[in-house]
Amino acid sequence: MSVSPAVVQWMAESAPTFEFAASLHAQYNRKGVLSPAQIAAAERCIEKRNASMQTREQTAPDADMSPLVDCFKHAKDQGAKRPGLIVGSFKFTMAGDESANPGAIYAKDRTQGVYLGKFTRAKFFKARECNTDQEALLLEIAKDPLRAAIDHGRMTGECALCSRTLSDPESIERGIGPVCAKKFGW
């Protein structure tokens, strides 16, 4: 029984984080075949993943996330290679052009390095590790990233965009440096 391209792709994509897929992938690379039972199991995994993704898409909250996405796009258009935003314990970064989610904004808990989810223009896709309180804060930041950046700067004395200490009196008052503000379109 031949292995479908969808199963081959699933094995390659899932192998780094899913032991079962890794074992199938290793066997397939070594022998060039899988048993009918292995193929059926892989196909069930694909079906389960697709159903989970569909559920996740349907249950993700609809909200205008464009303020967050647009400021990152502006920074990228201004030449920033890896724009980032730090607000409290959260770090936001932009997915690369070659990623599976080009233009999406990823959110992490920077103290623990835990991925919390991704933002598109219209939705927030929460990761399992993201609790309800974190989700509420992330959605609030996404609605007004400038306000969140300013609040962070005023509270910590550091620019939320470049993490440098705010030393100029005007920057300290404003809560954000003028170069970073301009880069993000603020």
Chain centroid to CA 144: 18
Question: Does 29 or 16 have the greater pLDDT score?
Answer: 29
Residue 158 banded pLDDT, cuts 50, 70, 90: very high
Share of the chain above pLDDT 90, in %: 69
What is the pTM assigned to this prediction? 0.71
Q: How far apart are CA 183 and CA 172, in angstroms?
A: 18
Q: 3-state class of 144 per DSSP?
A: coil
Q: How far apart are CA 15 and CA 10, in angstroms?
A: 8
Indicate the burial class of 82 (C-beta count within 10 angstroms; 0-12, 13-18, 19 or more): exposed
pLDDT in tens, 77-91: 999 888 999 999 999
With 70 as the cut, is the pLDDT of residue 14 above it? yes
Q: What is the pLDDT of residues 22-74, one digit of tens each?
A: 999 999 999 999 999 999 999 999 988 887 767 666 666 667 788 999 999 99
Tokens representing 74 are 């502006």
